Amino acid sequence: MSADANIVRCPSCGTRNRLPVSASGHPRCASCKAPLPWLVAAGDGDFSAAIDTSMPVLVDLWAPWCGPCRMIAPAVEKAATDYAGKLKAIKVNVDQAPQIASRYDAWSIPTLLMLRDGKVVSRQVGAVPQGQLLDWVGREIDA
């Protein structure tokens, strides 16, 4: 993910694509039409719109000062890439979105949530190895 959290590079052709926080359907590359990893940043103001999708949603509740949060960030990005077209990943900086952190009882970070139809179906608290995180995401998507 780039410095602008809503710009994603296409894994197939490298084109930079702007992704909306909310939209219907599944994002595709403007150039090659390949499915894009739908990885966006959201906060208190746009979170409800961001989770309004028919896809499973992986929410990463994190903070920039949190070492374990930085450790799992590449795994969250990999999950979004590996499950492009099947998963939406949303990064929420809890320092900038205290209402979302409170709503989901994120007393420890990183906290990862899997949502379906806006409801929490699974939760992972703390940093885990990339393989374990990807296995968790895969099980939740296949559920």
Active site residues: 66, 69
Look up residue 36 and give its DSSP letter.
Answer: P
End-to-end CA distance of the chain: 27
User: Which one-letter DSSP state was computed for residue 111?
Assistant: E
- Give dist(CA 34, CA 56) in Å, integer: 19
Q: What are the structure tokens assigned to 52, written together?
A: 């309004």
Phi, psi (degrees; rounded to nearest 5) at 39: -120, 110
How many CB atoms neighbour CB 15 within 10 A?
14
Rounded to whole angstroms, the Cα distance separating 48 from 64 reads 22
The answer for 44, left when phi > 0, alpha when psi is -120 to 50, beta otherwise, is alpha
